[in-house]
Amino acid sequence: MEQQEFTGTEAPATAADLRAIEQEYGFVFPEDYKAHILRVNGGWPRRNTFLQSRENGRTTERDINQFKPVQHGSYTLERSLESLRDQLHPDLIPFADEAGGDQFCLSVGPEDYGSVYYIAHESYRPPAFLEDDELVPQPREYGEGVHFLAPSFTAFLEGLIEVPDEDDEDEV
């Protein structure tokens, strides 16, 4: 598959930038994500739509607004981690978002390490342990409104498609 094109990327991130985040938050990024962010730091992908398979056999378009850059830019991965950590399972790392505020997350959990999930904020209900200090986080107990998209970051990138704007279709 051809390499994904991005526009609006930030200055390159470094391996030291990634290690600092890993050490601060106590997780290790999947290798395919690290390779991507060292090559392309944030930005907007040309192919920006992922077709989420639904249980009823239909698909739902999930459009990426922006990949979060590391270290550089206004809405960084670090800023997102800080603002969302008390609302998300600690195994979910938000790496991109949709225009309405929904999040695309990587799992760093032991049972589904590297998998990509989509969090629909309108239907999201956090896992119970975030509201009850006596409960302990359980693997893959991510809360209501969290949807599996792909088994790896690479599979997620390869699954992105370009959907023509409706305005473009009118201009024949």
15-68 pLDDT, tens per residue?
A: 999 999 999 999 999 999 999 999 999 999 999 999 898 888 888 899 999 999
Place of tokens 């949709």: 98
Structure confidence at residue 129 (pLDDT)? 55
Mean pLDDT of 79-92: 87
Mean pLDDT (whole number) for 102-128? 86
For residue 64, the model assigns a pLDDT of 94
pTM of the model: 0.86
Which of these, 31, 24, 42, 64, lies nearest to 149 by C-alpha position? 64
- Say if residue 152 is exposed, middle or buried (CB neighbours under 10 Å; 0-12, 13-18, 19+): middle
CATH 3.40.1580.10 fits 6-162, yes or no: yes
CA diameter of the chain = 61
**pLDDT at res. 133:** 61
Q: Tell me the average pLDDT across 82-90.
A: 85
